[in-house]
Structure 1
Amino acid sequence: MAASSASVPATLPAKRKRAPVSRYIDDADLERVDDSAYGSGSDVEADEVEDEELPDGDSVYGSRKKSSKTNTRKSKAKKRSKFTPSRPKKPQKPFEFMSLPAELRDYIYELALVDPERITVVSKTKAYRRTVARGAISDNGNGFYSGRSRGYHRRRYINLDDDEDVDESQEPELDPKQLIPALLAVNKQIRAEATGYLYQQSIILEDTMALHTFLAAIGPANRPQVTDLTIRAWGTGRGTHKAMNVAALTLLSTCTSLKSFNLDCEIGWLREPKNLARQLYRDGHYFFEAYGAANGNKDAAVEVLALNEWNFDRDHYYNYRKSASQLPQPEEFKVKFQTELRKLLGC
């Protein structure tokens, strides 16, 4: 039994029957095949097939020599795909400025609207209209204006005198800080929060004409925000510049929050304390009375008013008709001047 079982061969599994596949394709079949089928259904890309003839009987199904026209068209399509524009980026959300803390917003307002070196304003003409702009203001070398013609001062502003000695050791003046007042036009809340930063800083004006134009330009809504003004020239003569003294101080009557009003200039000729007080009261009684009424004290404007020391200096006696010895000392001059002005205001 053992010998007979060893001689019997093991049974082999039956082979899977397959349909016969022909490796040869007729020319008629090739003509019916669409060119696009080879690019999508074949494992071999059309561009990767080498441009050479295959031997008879060894041609691979799905591969044949492509025309140069088809290859050129596909290569151009690949090149175009490299320069396909990217998808548009999603729109970014606007920055929520008002969500910042109040302290940080105030810091931004200060950077955008405050000039640490003070703002200087000069008169300009734009499109045949009188206006003002930021600009440099120079004096006549003595620290104040001496009441000379406006043309003389305009020449000093733009430095047309080339013969003037220039001290090369001095550092050149830097351009003024660029402010951004357009920030106030963003919305009402920013305007309410930031207006004070622009107007509640020291503002130096060229003369009373610049003061009048400046106050007219900012409007009655912003005038109560002004707190510190300096005038560098007083109008003199018999023309428009002298008339601007009254007009400018009349508009100033709406600036009821002033804390400093400095007349850093020569107010006419040197005169006695009473005459100087009467001159200022004649030109600015609207301002003195309105400021006193708004602050609950008739002589409140006297406390914020400051004059250049030249108006009290007896050494300028050449502008005084009498002897300089008849004028009081500067401190006594100030006291008499303020006393007379208070008397005119009805204190």
Structure 2
Amino acid sequence: MFATNLVKRIVPVPAVRPESSALSSLPAEPRYPKRKRADVRYNCEDNEDVESDSELQYIPVKVLSFTVSYAYAIHQQRARNTRPPPKHKIFPFMSLPAELRNKIYEDCLPSPTRLPENYEGNKEAIWLCFKQKRYRRTVDYVPSLDQGEIASMQYGDYSASRRASTQRGRIVHHANNDNDNSDLDVEEPEAGPRRLGPNILSVSKQIYEEAAPMMYAQTLVFTDVNAVVAFAATLSPRTAKLLRSIEIRSWQQTRSRKSQGYNAMAMLAAKGVTNLTSLFINCSMGYFRSYSWRNNRRETAVPKRIARKVYRDCHLWLEIMGSTHGDLYKGIEVLKLSGAMFDSETSWNEVEEEDKTVYKKELQRLLREGAW
């Protein structure tokens, strides 16, 4: 009887409907409602009639987003490529023999300026000229010069002619006949010497110690005193000690109508350029006469006037040379003048010994008096 009552109390469980399996596969409702955003439309109806040349106008939004992502990926890839390569891929430059490294330095450093065949001066020198770049005063390497350009330096006309012949770094060719519209047969320029590339000196200290003496041991020829000021202003004390030979081609008034000779020599003295074996002022520092209108035409020898001019412009450098080497007259031995200053067309070596003696005695006297 107890079993009969238990059977009566069991309630049958309803069968699972087939639709419940489909309902269970649906995603559950979110806990919070989604934010309602305004629809973004990239094709404005107001500008449908406006013609546009943009290539992105007809690219679908999905493709456009892919293009931007691809460009960003390329940018990231290039940024990763700037990292230094691993050690096993770095070229062992310093492991090369010294002779081979010196050959590489010669190929990287500038070649001597190409000069005319009839030029009587030093043909193994590097010529530098004054240049203003982005309102900054600097120097520029001169790859080649002709006879006319060299002659114009004596009067300070080289910089003016260089500015007139170039526009934004491009050489301007002027036709002789404006009515002639025929094609000009312009010859291709010959391969000139290597451009100034001293960037290799900043790679490491060892490369600087090996290559810097090779570059600065050459004679540096400056077209005018402005170039000397711009070059010396950026010299480091270590580089200043490496300079061996300097030549100046123009002492005349500069573009600002002011003489920069004193400033150039003062800059060399301030930077410590005292290891020179030759400082050649290969130009006229002025016009000298034996008489003076201010002193009732009192006669004064031309060599004495030249010595006073040299002392007036170069006394700072002469004094620093004497104090560095322990010889008051060391600068007089290193400094050389052009023979044109002594009313002669010859070089300094061919100036009469009598004029040289008068010049040196007067300059020595001025140095002795100035030292006290």
- Separation (CA, whole Å) in 2 of partners of 1:196 and 1:124: 25
Deviations 1:283-336 (A, max 9, x none): 1111001012112211111111111121122589xxxxxxxxxxxx74322222
Q: TM-score normalised to the size of structure 2?
A: 0.56
Cα–Cα, structure 1 residues 224 and 161, in superposed 2: closer, same or farther, change >3 Å? farther
Cα–Cα, structure 1 residues 153 and 297, in superposed 2: closer, same or farther, change >3 Å? farther
- Residue 97 (str. 1) matches residue 105 (str. 2): no
The 5 Å alignment of 1:50-65 reads none
The 5 Å alignment of 1:278-297 reads 278-297=308-327
Give the corresponding residue for 2:282: 264
Cα–Cα, structure 1 residues 315 and 291, in superposed 2: closer, same or farther, change >3 Å? closer
Give the corresponding residue for 1:337: 359
- Residue 111 (str. 1) matches residue 107 (str. 2): yes
Deviation at 1:266, TM superposition (A): 1.2
Deviations 1:71-96 (A, max 9, x none): xxxxxxxxxxxxxxxxxxx9963221
Please, what is the CA RMSD of the aligned residues?
Answer: 3.3
Is residue 156–residue 224 contact of structure 2 (8 Å, CA) maintained in 1?
no
Larger-gyration structure (1/2)? 1
Is residue 120–residue 203 contact of structure 1 (8 Å, CA) maintained in 2?
yes
- Separation (CA, whole Å) in 1 of partners of 2:277 and 2:337: 14
- Separation (CA, whole Å) in 1 of partners of 2:356 and 2:264: 24
Q: TM-score normalised to the size of structure 1?
A: 0.59
SS in 2 for 1:221: helix
- Separation (CA, whole Å) in 2 of partners of 1:336 and 1:157: 44
The 5 Å alignment of 1:182-221 reads 182-221=199-238
Cα–Cα, structure 1 residues 125 and 236, in superposed 2: closer, same or farther, change >3 Å? closer
2:128 to 121, 143, 152: 121
- Residue 245 (str. 1) matches residue 253 (str. 2): no
Cα–Cα, structure 1 residues 156 and 279, in superposed 2: closer, same or farther, change >3 Å? farther
The 5 Å alignment of 1:1-347 reads 93-113=89-109, 115-116=111-112, 117-135=124-142, 136=144, 143=151, 145-147=153-155, 152-154=160-162, 175-236=192-253, 240-242=257-259, 244-253=260-269, 254-271=272-289, 272-313=302-343, 330-346=352-368
SS in 2 for 1:131: strand
Q: How many residues align?
A: 237
Is residue 144–residue 264 contact of structure 1 (8 Å, CA) maintained in 2?
no
Cα–Cα, structure 1 residues 139 and 98, in superposed 2: closer, same or farther, change >3 Å? same
SS in 2 for 1:345: helix
**AA aligned opposite 1:113:** L
Is residue 137–residue 230 contact of structure 2 (8 Å, CA) maintained in 1?
yes
SS in 2 for 1:268: coil
Cα–Cα, structure 1 residues 312 and 144, in superposed 2: closer, same or farther, change >3 Å? farther
Is residue 144–residue 232 contact of structure 1 (8 Å, CA) maintained in 2?
no
- Separation (CA, whole Å) in 2 of partners of 1:141 and 1:338: 33
Deviation at 1:100, TM superposition (A): 2.2
Deviation at 1:176, TM superposition (A): 2.6
Q: Structure 1 unaligned runs (5+)?
A: 1-89, 164-171, 317-328
Deviation at 1:232, TM superposition (A): 0.6
Deviation at 1:129, TM superposition (A): 1.1
Q: Structure 2 unaligned runs (5+)?
A: 1-85, 113-123, 177-188, 290-301
Deviation at 1:213, TM superposition (A): 0.3
**AA aligned opposite 2:343:** D
